[in-house]
Structure 1
Amino acid sequence: MSIKKAYQPTPSGGQPLTRVDLINSHPNNQQKKLNKSRAILVGFGLAGVSLVSAAVGAFLAVALSTASPLQQIQLTNEEQKIFSQEETVTDKNLNLPVLSRPVNILVLGIKVISSDLDERGIEYDKQDVGYLHLVNSFDGLSDSMLLLRFDPQQEKLFVLSIPRDTRVDLEGHGIGKINHANQYGGPALAAATASDLLGGINIDRYVRVNVQGVEKLIDALGGVTVNVPKDMKYNDFSQHLYIDLKKGVQHLDGDKAMQFLRYRYDEYGDISRVQRQQMLMRSAVEQTLKPATIVKIPKILSVIQSHLDTNLTVRELMALSNFASKTKRANVQMMMLPGDFNDGSESVSYWLPNEEAIDRLMTKHFNLPVNANNNYASVAHDAQLLNPNLKISVQDTIGNQEALQSALDTLRTAGYNRVSASKNWQDPLVTTKIIAQSGDDEAAAEVRSILGVGEIVVESTGVLQSDITVEVGRDWVRRRRRLSQADLAPGLENNFDN
């Protein structure tokens, strides 16, 4: 199967990519010889990236002999042009390599079952188990897709989740879902398609990890503690997929974590699953960026190698590890591709990209320039700090309707005209959470300044289609006790302590 067209990269955040013909057929997966050393540091949690301490990264320099030790396929010369050839790291004296510029990495979570390969006539290690079993392969649909931006200038890590049902133009295959790109043309076509979707952003590197690898990785990390938002139960006997989780905060092992991630049988389907992925990802990052994780590295690496495919080099792995070890929790910002469900007029369910919102998001967080060649450059950006048209959803987490109503009143009094109460969040919070659902952290900061309390997080775990979601915690109740009704007017609340 050949890839007819793709995009030639430019430095991250540079000019939009141009099309070039790919004349070579996409190769079959060829297992490259892997160095069996147990001292590799790889950080690819959840959908692919679990970063740990830079100190352990020093072993990489002496433990591995190949430039990209975890790359399991051979890209053609033209496919390699999809990814940036620009240097990403630099060495400072005798210190570990560090990132020399922002780096964009496309992460693909791959799920391949035996029937997928049978239908396409691809050879694999068949198991006579009587059901459709998972195969340790990368030659299938991407179950999840993330674009990560490691930005050393801002000292931030940006995570953009791209729903698997996103409607795109797949080169040589017409209109379809973006999760087919990897199956049709491997990481090169997946990267080219994602770049085109996101206004021509450069993709520097790729990472592919299959679901077996994610499960084993979470087990090696000792599990992940998350808040399961509701009871989840689903059975697919043909695949031996059994999901049975109870509502509430709990510690999940690899099998339970995969149940949490793969469940999509609710009102919003794959979009709800994207939100759960971000919830688990944040928990995993917070757990892995701890000194106690270092002692688990040999076990982690012994199970991850055969389930991971990436063109990251040894020095880049070291630099990413160094960067991650210094990243603050608040500087990990997670977003979801702006869009909406199609109206049902098509026979296939799609997530329809919102081009104007994508432009704003990519310009703000991924440094995509606004120029005449940018597909979305015609969008006018409002420089005014206060945006009264923000769609703000407010949720009660503490069972206090009076506190909820006072938060609504405060925001409306401040001038916001699209404020509404949403379904209560069941996890009681001590600190109010202000979620920048669409990635606008400046707008979230403005909401916080008006409320006078709260923690700002940039992620897509809030109310779908809101710009800002406010989950009211106990700190708001304490603050209300200090304020008289007259003090709720905008501009006076900052005279009070938080």
Structure 2
Amino acid sequence: MLGLGGVAVVSASAGALLAVAIAGTPLMQARLSPEESKVFSQGDISTGMNFRLPQLTRPVNIVVLGTKVLASDVNNPPPETQNLGYDATLNSLEGLTDSMLLLRFNPADQQLVVLSLPRDTRTYVDGIGITKLNEANAVGGPALAARATSDLLGGVGIDRYVRINVLGVEKLIDALGGITLYVPHDMKYQDDSQHLYINLKQGKQHLNGAQAVQFLRFRYDAYGDIGRVQRQQMFLRALREQALKPATLSRLPQILSVIQSNIDTNLSVEELIALAGFAAHIDRANMQMLMLPGTFSGSEYDASYWLPNAEQIDTLVRQYFGLSSTRFEDPQLSTESFDAHLTVAIQDSTGEPGVVEKLMNTLAVAGYGDVFIDEPWSEPLTTTRIIAQQGNLDEAEALQQSLGFGEVLVESTGSLQSNLTIRLGQDAIQGLLPPASGSPSSPVAPTSDELPVDASIAPPSDLPDTDVSQPEIEPDWEATSEPAPKPTLEPASAPASGSPSPKEPPHPPITVPPPEPYP
């Protein structure tokens, strides 16, 4: 729940925003035509500001568009960018979207739902045809992007939009005083043609604005753009925690200046206050982060796509967005196909001998037949996280009750091959491996919360020698292949006394197309 410091931040933020409202400073930069305005709901979403702070009066869906525009993307780039020797980033909101989110603020159940929409999603965009979802904003602005998102999700209504570019994100993080998060692995990339330099080390650290953008943009790992989506969800949790710190109070003038100058939205100031207050008061578990269901494309396409699964999307929007889809005659069809086979992944952060094997046995006894061991999680955790990777909250809560430890989180940061991912923390050692009577407890390794923040990260321009300092080239799509099918395992029976620990079932790795050049 929100502490006293968070209450103070929200109250002070509301007061500062109220001053902006009284001054009449607009937030919206784009000019929407009457036809474009009809894409968005025209009804009120909050109470007015009288003698109390405004409150949300109904569920609200907001599409968030993160853009990045290079000088080469526009017909007439600014003169100051033409002789720099590299492709400069412009302070524009009119280009391809580098990231897309659909947020649902629901006061009825005190939930904030964040749906990540991969930029490479293959879908229909009005006026273009079948293309990538990220082209909608470049062609038709926020209205076309909102319409394409609604169509993709079977008619989910869009109430408002927010656009921000990478320069605005960098300024916003600096205005907040930086952000503390755990970088899961080393990230290094260099492209002199764009002055794009990414150089982050694994570990818990406090990032400035430029480094936070590096974290958000990096996609040269096993999952490409989908890995970037997962890191964006980690970033959003850390951003909320940073925004609620008492030290944020002293930075409100800088924060509001960034909002006024770098964000385009059709939200009113009153609505923005209501949304900020709502987001600050919700529990951590009620911030639920999902990813559009789908799979990587294979070599049948000339470009890499995220292929959406319409049946699973229908299940998701019914559960989290309150929409009764009519795309399938049988309303149970997608539910059955979505939940018919429950796959559980295990990611160990403890390094404790025997804890994974004990968990495998425990799950087998409980009737979980498809369980596999994923790569260890590098961040040391105090509390085990049971991650509802595909939004299946009921199954995650049932698993948590069966184990008797851990916390349930709805987010898409777990294994892509799983329905549920168990990320083992220190509480699992006590829950699964209780010490023998009279024996001293094993020493507990420090968790990420106890680790010192590494502030020694080199600035973006201070890179060590690297062998990747060349512009990107178009990947060879013929070399990619369809993801190998995951074998279906029969439910396991309880192991007999004295029987060996269950073996790790064979789960083939997902084949991920190499990422295309950075936009």
Q: CA RMSD in A?
A: 2.4
Counterpart of 1:468 (choices 415, 420, 445) is 420
Counterpart of 1:355 (choices 310, 317, 325) is 310
Note the C-alpha offset of 1:320: 1.0
Counterpart of 1:221 (choices 154, 176, 188) is 176
Establish whether residue 427 from structure 1 lines up as the match of residue 379 from structure 2.
yes
Deviations 1:292-333 (A, max 9, x none): 212211011223322210000122112112212312222111
Q: Which residue of 2 aligns with 1:174?
A: 129
**What does residue range 443-454 of structure 1 map to in structure 2 within 5 Å?**
443-454=395-406
Q: Which residue of 1 aligns with 2:440?
A: none
**What does residue range 296-335 of structure 1 map to in structure 2 within 5 Å?**
296-335=251-290
Deviations 1:103-159 (A, max 9, x none): 000000010010001xxx245464232211110111100000000001111111110
Q: Which residue of 2 aligns with 1:99?
A: 56
| Higher deviation after alignment, 187-196 or 255-264 | 255-264
Note the C-alpha offset of 1:164: 0.3
**Take 2:333 and 2:368, find their aligned partners in 1: how far apart are those partners?**
19
**Take 1:112 and 1:277, find their aligned partners in 2: how far apart are those partners?**
19
Residue aligned with 1:278, SS: helix
**What does residue range 190-209 of structure 1 map to in structure 2 within 5 Å?**
190-209=145-164
Contact persistence 2:388–2:409 (CA under 8 A) = yes
Counterpart of 2:65 (choices 96, 105, 108) is 108
Contact persistence 1:389–1:416 (CA under 8 A) = no
Establish whether residue 400 from structure 1 lines up as the match of residue 360 from structure 2.
no
The alignment covers a number of residue pairs equal to 430
**Take 2:349 and 2:253, find their aligned partners in 1: how far apart are those partners?**
41
Gap change, CA 1:404 and 1:300, over 3 Å in 2: same
Residue aligned with 1:83, SS: coil
Contact persistence 1:68–1:311 (CA under 8 A) = no
Establish whether residue 76 from structure 1 lines up as the match of residue 21 from structure 2.
no
**Take 1:57 and 1:334, find their aligned partners in 2: how far apart are those partners?**
26
Note the C-alpha offset of 1:93: 6.6
Contact persistence 2:16–2:252 (CA under 8 A) = no
| 1:72 partner letter | Q
Establish whether residue 211 from structure 1 lines up as the match of residue 166 from structure 2.
yes
Q: Which residue of 2 aligns with 1:284?
A: 239
Note the C-alpha offset of 1:388: 7.5
**Take 2:369 and 2:185, find their aligned partners in 1: how far apart are those partners?**
31
Deviations 1:384-436 (A, max 9, x none): 9xx68311101111112411111122112111221111111111212111111
Q: Which residue of 1 aligns with 2:21?
A: 64
**Take 1:322 and 1:80, find their aligned partners in 2: how far apart are those partners?**
26
**What does residue range 224-239 of structure 1 map to in structure 2 within 5 Å?**
224-239=179-194
**What does residue range 143-154 of structure 1 map to in structure 2 within 5 Å?**
143-154=98-109
**Take 1:281 and 1:226, find their aligned partners in 2: how far apart are those partners?**
10
| Higher deviation after alignment, 103-112 or 423-432 | 423-432
**Take 1:66 and 1:218, find their aligned partners in 2: how far apart are those partners?**
25
Contact persistence 1:216–1:304 (CA under 8 A) = no
Q: Which residue of 2 aligns with 1:455?
A: 407
Q: Which residue of 1 aligns with 2:504?
A: none
Note the C-alpha offset of 1:62: 4.3
Contact persistence 2:111–2:282 (CA under 8 A) = yes
Deviations 1:77-101 (A, max 9, x none): 0000000012111248721111000
Note the C-alpha offset of 1:465: 2.9
Gap change, CA 1:125 and 1:79, over 3 Å in 2: farther
Establish whether residue 263 from structure 1 lines up as the match of residue 222 from structure 2.
no
**Take 2:26 and 2:407, find their aligned partners in 1: how far apart are those partners?**
40
Q: Which residue of 1 aligns with 2:390?
A: 438
Q: Which residue of 2 aligns with 1:188?
A: 143
Q: Which residue of 1 aligns with 2:477?
A: none
**Take 2:215 and 2:306, find their aligned partners in 1: how far apart are those partners?**
21
> Could you state the TM-score of these two structures normalised by the residue count of structure 2?
0.79
Note the C-alpha offset of 1:376: 4.6
Establish whether residue 477 from structure 1 lines up as the match of residue 429 from structure 2.
yes
| 1:170 partner letter | V
Gap change, CA 1:411 and 1:96, over 3 Å in 2: same
Residue aligned with 1:90, SS: coil
Contact persistence 2:17–2:256 (CA under 8 A) = no
**Take 2:141 and 2:190, find their aligned partners in 1: how far apart are those partners?**
30
Counterpart of 1:240 (choices 181, 192, 195) is 195
Residue aligned with 1:471, SS: strand
Contact persistence 1:232–1:246 (CA under 8 A) = yes
Identity of aligned pairs, percent? 51
**Take 2:76 and 2:64, find their aligned partners in 1: how far apart are those partners?**
24
Deviations 1:39-75 (A, max 9, x none): xxxxxxxxxxxx9614431343443358881110110
Gap change, CA 1:203 and 1:115, over 3 Å in 2: same
Deviations 1:144-198 (A, max 9, x none): 0000001111111110000000001111111110000000100000000000001
Gap change, CA 1:254 and 1:489, over 3 Å in 2: same
Gap change, CA 1:193 and 1:388, over 3 Å in 2: closer
**Take 1:184 and 1:441, find their aligned partners in 2: how far apart are those partners?**
37
**Take 1:417 and 1:388, find their aligned partners in 2: how far apart are those partners?**
13
Deviations 1:210-269 (A, max 9, x none): 000101111111111121111111111110001111112211111111111111112211
Give unmatched runs, 5+ long, in structure 1: 1-50, 491-498
| Higher deviation after alignment, 332-341 or 424-433 | 424-433
| 2:345 partner letter | S
**Take 2:328 and 2:170, find their aligned partners in 1: how far apart are those partners?**
38
Q: Which residue of 2 aligns with 1:90?
A: 47
Gap change, CA 1:437 and 1:378, over 3 Å in 2: same
Establish whether residue 136 from structure 1 lines up as the match of residue 91 from structure 2.
yes
Gap change, CA 1:171 and 1:71, over 3 Å in 2: same
Gap change, CA 1:92 and 1:245, over 3 Å in 2: closer
| Higher deviation after alignment, 393-402 or 341-350 | 393-402
Contact persistence 1:199–1:376 (CA under 8 A) = no
**Take 2:407 and 2:30, find their aligned partners in 1: how far apart are those partners?**
43
